[in-house]
Amino acid sequence: MHIKDIKWGAAIGGAIAAEIAQIAAAFIWVAVYSYAIDPGQPSSVYQAHAQTSGPWVSIIAGSAIFYAASRWIARSVPTAMALFAVFFAIDILLIILAGISLSPADMALVGTSYLTKLLVCHLGGRHGAKPAQAV
């Protein structure tokens, strides 16, 4: 894997698309929860649920989202790894700028989320690559 093999446009575009899709998935989950699972609660209940469910949505929905982005946008392992690196840099920057402090349990979930995304990006890049590139 060489840096010259990376399609940076696809990596950056895929990372941004995956980040947006992941945020949308979190909003959709909270909407489903608030309208179908536990309706009629004060908004503070749904805000609290969004905080606690967000990392899980990131792991579960994020896996499918990042696999798809790596398979159909990145289409190679080097570009898929760059997609993950761009996402990781953006996500860490957003966490720092938002001033979010993470407990050890939160850090474990966030670490699991990043590790999962790294693995599915690799798989998506391999599965999206032409047969000669997959090796």
* Sequential DSSP letters for 56-72: HHHHHHHHHHHHHHIII
Per-residue model confidence (pLDDT) at position 102: 82
Per-residue model confidence (pLDDT) at position 3: 81
Three-state SS for 101? coil
Per-residue model confidence (pLDDT) at position 31: 94
> Token pair for residue 96?
């720092």
Identify whether the C-beta of residue 129 lies closer than 8 Å to the C-beta of residue 74: no
Domain housing 54: 3-134
In this prediction, the residues of the chain whose per-residue pLDDT falls under 70 are: 1, 132-135
Report how many domains make up the chain: 1
Instruction: Report the distance separating Cα 1 and Cα 78, nearest Å.
Output: 6
